Amino acid sequence: MENKQIIFKGYIDRAPQITDMELKITNISTSELVETMEDGAVMVKNLYLSCDPYMRGRMRDFHASYIPPFRPDSVMEGFGVSRVLHSKNEVFKCGDVVTGMTGWEEYSVIHNTAQLRKIEQDPDSGNDPIPLSYYVGLLGMPGFTAYAGFYEVCSPKTGDSVYVSAASGAVGQLVGQLAKLHGCYVVGSAGTSHKVDLLKNKLGYDDAFNYKTEPDLNAALRRYFPGGIDIYFENVGGPMLDAVLLNMAIHGRIAVCGMVSQHGMSSWQGIHNLQTLIAKRVRMQGFLQSDYLHLFPRFLEDVAAYYMQGKIVYIENMNEGLESAPAAFVALFSGGNVGKQIVCVATE
Amino acid sequence: MENKQIIFKGYIDRAPQITDMELKITNISTSELVETMEDGAVMVKNLYLSCDPYMRGRMRDFHASYIPPFRPDSVMEGFGVSRVLHSKNEVFKCGDVVTGMTGWEEYSVIHNTAQLRKIEQDPDSGNDPIPLSYYVGLLGMPGFTAYAGFYEVCSPKTGDSVYVSAASGAVGQLVGQLAKLHGCYVVGSAGTSHKVDLLKNKLGYDDAFNYKTEPDLNAALRRYFPGGIDIYFENVGGPMLDAVLLNMAIHGRIAVCGMVSQHGMSSWQGIHNLQTLIAKRVRMQGFLQSDYLHLFPRFLEDVAAYYMQGKIVYIENMNEGLESAPAAFVALFSGGNVGKQIVCVATE
């Protein structure tokens, strides 16, 4: 049986390019694979793979981070939704749909099953089921990043003025909608007029702007936030962060989630306006969703309910076929995708 | 009667120089002054004046800060210790010693007496009295900045590794001593070998180094904090902050108090390593002591007790005579003083 795989070619110190990965076709024998599987392992067919910015950090030869780098000449890995084909694990049965870390390939053997989660769908609920791909987006790591970052790091209050950069992205689109549900005034920015339109007309933002066509980010933020920004959900870094620092309200909070504009830089751009942290008494806090996993069950319940009640929506950018994964991943860093980037490897 | 005054000449956009201020001698008539004093005002003789870095912000033509700028061609003002000569206020009697905002001159009329505080000294306590100048240092705004910043912003825990820059300064010297009393490991940096010696041998720091003779601040911090920095009390900004960001421990806290190295810059230096906030989940928080004034009485009680019990010491740099005030103030920005900078105008 053929197994298509996406291989990571080697460490880089710049923005990822398609040629940093390559497609490889291996022949595998299912029976041999299953024989050599350790107790506790499962063999899966991958259905949906998630492209996330943090993965770029795994392409550097840097071993002191919170997650180890990819191994050169090995299969890429990331969050995925998969169907169990063979199981040597009591928790997962053949036919189960699971989500967790898997390989960028058609078939994977997953040994670290402690991080796998079974997706339970209730066919008798009378509702349309939640799309399986949402379990690596709205109901997966990006959604949980938005949830933990907004509720646990931003200390939101009703009436707060909230600014979200990369606002239509996998994380940003949920942050904005949670903030609206919390009674905040919410403005987002993105890099195309199409995304700005989505923010205003589909994702419920009070207002939105295209940062690429604003000649002066400081002036733009002053226009949208004449009373200052209470909460900034920081996804991009660079000149946008500097402009935000000039526009924070007293006792404002900045949740530092990502600085995606800096991913391509071998040396990071300087931030010049940190002194405003003092006069405005601003709290700026970096966070990782993994510190809040005790809240994951509540998150799943809350956000799935919001979705089923039609209170939130989620926009995906779905690429078809494993072959499209390198291009889909690279597009994260140029803003080429709209919404959460997913690769569909197979539908069942 | 003569009244010597230090006049602020006009707004600047660089590090302060002695020539930005000038000495002026005015003739005043006490009886006329007292006659024109509004109800509630007091006339004082100034004893000690405090030189503080925040005053540099009042020399800019910038009106949106938490404190208004000085007025050109008017008397400089700042925290001081003064003796009441005439009072039209029920709270303050002739002869009382008070502390609060006063003028950089020999005699001042203070109208805003709400911000004045009477210094109570108990001659019957059997202890040596606390030096009056300490009421604008150890027991004044700088001491309270250290107290509120350390306890309320840094979230200290016993055993934490604490790093203090400008560690022998008005604020830093108390931060280090409070951290030691809290059971922390404390390292400070300063800009001369004499200050480093004071940190180690008088102020009780576990270790200290001269940042000016370190070729690589990142390497120096790695040496002193092999397990990372839990708490950084940020007094200087610039390249030091960038080096600290590379050495923070997971869940570390940075209290942003001042960025004195940036005071002379018309454009601030860029900080390049903020991305480490994410992987290390660091909280960086700007603060002003004025947000914590509800804690001031407890601070006075705690720190005065520590001092009387010999648990903490305080180093002052005392200049004699109002004439010396401009030079004393300017020295704050070049590191020319050792400890809290005071100008003694008169002793009684």
Q: What are phi and psi of A103, to 5 degrees?
A: -90, 155
C-alpha dist (Å) from residue B60 to A82, B14, B266, B284: 62, 9, 11, 26
Distance in angstroms (rounded) separating the CA atoms of residues A193 and A45 = 38
Q: What pLDDT score was predicted for residue A321?
A: 97
Of A103-112, B102-111, B167-176, B272-281, minimum mean pLDDT range: B272-281
* Interface contact flag, B272 A274, Cβ < 8 Å: no
pLDDT single digits (tens) A66-122:
789 999 999 999 999 999 999 999 999 999 999 999 999 999 999 999 999 999 877
**The two structure tokens encoding residue A216:** 């002066």
Report the share of chain A in percent with pLDDT over 90: 86
Query: What residues in B contact A282, CB-CB < 8 Å?
Result: 285-286
Distance in angstroms (rounded) separating the CA atoms of residues B305 and B119 = 15
- Given a cut of 80, whether residue A266 has pLDDT beyond it is no
In this prediction, residues A134-145 reach a mean pLDDT of 97
State which residue of chain B sits closest to A241, comparing Cα positions.
B274
- Given a cut of 60, whether residue B77 has pLDDT beyond it is yes
Report the share of chain B in percent with pLDDT over 90: 86
In this prediction, residues B24-53 reach a mean pLDDT of 95
- Given a cut of 80, whether residue B122 has pLDDT beyond it is no
pLDDT confidence tier of residue B66, bands split at 50, 70 and 90:
confident
Report the share of chain A in percent with pLDDT over 70: 97
- Given a cut of 60, whether residue A289 has pLDDT beyond it is yes
Q: What is the mean pLDDT of chain A?
A: 94
Distance in angstroms (rounded) separating the CA atoms of residues A46 and B50 = 69
Alpha helices in chain B (DSSP H): 30-36, 141-148, 172-181, 193-201, 217-224, 238-245, 276-279, 296-308, 325-331
Instruction: Measure in Å the smallest separation between the Cα of A303 and chain B Cα atoms.
Output: 24
Q: Which strand (E) or helix (H) includes residue A303?
A: helix A296-308
pLDDT single digits (tens) B207-252:
999 999 999 999 999 999 999 999 999 998 899 999 999 999 999 9
Q: What are phi and psi of A210, to 5 degrees?
A: -95, 110
Cβ-contact A102, A44 below 8 angstroms = yes
C-alpha dist (Å) from residue A307 to A134, B224, B268: 11, 51, 45
Decide if B283 touches A, using CB distance below 8 A.
Answer: yes
pLDDT single digits (tens) A29-68:
999 999 999 999 999 999 999 999 999 989 998 887 778 9
| From A66, A276, A278, residue closest to B288, measured CB to CB | A278
| From A256, A279, A281, residue closest to B278, measured CB to CB | A256
pLDDT single digits (tens) A145-193:
999 999 999 999 999 999 999 999 999 999 999 999 999 999 999 999 9
Please give the CATH number for the structural domain made up of B141-290. Answer: 3.40.50.720
Please give the CATH number for the structural domain made up of A2-136+316-344. Answer: 3.90.180.10
Q: What pLDDT score was predicted for residue A121?
A: 79
Q: What pLDDT score was predicted for residue B259?
A: 67
* Interface contact flag, A279 B66, Cβ < 8 Å: yes
Q: Tell the residue number behind the tokens 């020999």, with chain if given.
A: B106
State which residue of chain B sits closest to A276, comparing Cα positions.
B286
Query: What residues in B contact A148, CB-CB < 8 Å?
Result: none
Decide if B4 touches A, using CB distance below 8 A.
Answer: no
Q: What is the mean pLDDT of chain B?
A: 94
Domain residue ranges of chain A, discontinuous segments joined by +: 2-136+316-344, 141-290
Decide if A23 touches B, using CB distance below 8 A.
Answer: no
Decide if B275 touches A, using CB distance below 8 A.
Answer: yes
Decide if A117 touches B, using CB distance below 8 A.
Answer: no
DSSP A241-301: HHHHHTTEEEEEEEEE---GGGTT-SSPPPB--TTHHHHTT-EEEE--GGGGGGGHHHHHH
- Given a cut of 70, whether residue A259 has pLDDT beyond it is no
Instruction: Measure in Å the smallest separation between the Cα of A56 and chain B Cα atoms.
Output: 14
Q: Which strand (E) or helix (H) includes residue B231?
A: strand B229-234
In this prediction, residues B63-69 reach a mean pLDDT of 82
Q: What is the DSSP secondary structure assignment for residue B338, as one 8-state letter?
A: -
* Interface contact flag, A291 B284, Cβ < 8 Å: no
Decide if B321 touches A, using CB distance below 8 A.
Answer: no
In this prediction, residues B72-83 reach a mean pLDDT of 98
Would you identify the CATH topology of the domain B2-137+316-344?
Quinone Oxidoreductase; Chain A, domain 1 (3.90.180)
C-alpha dist (Å) from residue B262 to A275, B53, B54, B188, B333: 9, 11, 12, 19, 9
In this prediction, residues B62-71 reach a mean pLDDT of 85
Query: What residues in A contact B291, CB-CB < 8 Å?
Result: 281
Phi-psi region of A239 (alpha: psi -120 to 50; beta: other; left: phi over 0): alpha
| From B270, B275, B288, residue closest to A272, measured CB to CB | B270
State which residue of chain B sits closest to A253, comparing Cα positions.
B285
State which residue of chain A sits closest to B257, comparing Cα positions.
A278
pLDDT single digits (tens) B295-343:
999 999 999 999 999 999 999 999 999 999 999 999 998 888 999 999 9
* Interface contact flag, A274 B288, Cβ < 8 Å: no
Q: What pLDDT score was predicted for residue B121?
A: 79
| From A258, A268, A284, residue closest to B273, measured CB to CB | A268
- Given a cut of 90, whether residue A125 has pLDDT beyond it is no
pLDDT confidence tier of residue B258, bands split at 50, 70 and 90:
confident
Cβ-contact B59, B69 below 8 angstroms = yes
A:62-91 residues touching chain B, CB 8 A cutoff: 65-66
ipTM of the complex: 0.91
Q: What pLDDT score was predicted for residue A268?
A: 72
* Interface contact flag, B278 A259, Cβ < 8 Å: yes
